Amino acid sequence: MDDEFRRLALALYRGPFRYERGYVWDANMDMVADTGGYENSVMRVRGWGHIQRLPDPEKLQDAVGELMAEALTDLWRREHEARRG
């Protein structure tokens, strides 16, 4: 991921985040993700209305998705390492 888009994606939303009724919201009540409503999907990146007028919104949305995957991977690793003791 391009460092500039990583920086922009991290600045786009504000923690803490919460999951409520199929949606992930940031502290400002901006939608970050939802369950997608698709078979075999866990979630999909949202926020197009929030970012569509920014420069390169597709790349920015991809960067948000990559950060979400990175965060889930970090949590997964910590949990698995804790179980191994």
Q: Is the pLDDT of residue 85 over 80?
A: no
In what helix (H) or strand (E) does residue 64 lie, and over which residues does it extend? helix 57-84
Instruction: Record the tokens describing residue 15, joined without a space.
Output: 């923690």
pLDDT of 15 reads 94
> What are the domain boundaries of the chain?
3-84
pLDDT of 39 reads 81
- The answer to whether 48 touches 30, Cβ cutoff 8 Å, is no
- 84: confidence class by pLDDT, cuts 50, 70, 90: confident
What is the per-residue pLDDT across 27-74, written as a single tens digit (0 to 9) for each? 999 999 998 877 877 888 988 888 999 999 999 999 999 999 999 999
pLDDT of 28 reads 95
Say how many CA atoms lie within 13 Å of 75 toward its Cβ: 6
pLDDT of 1 reads 80
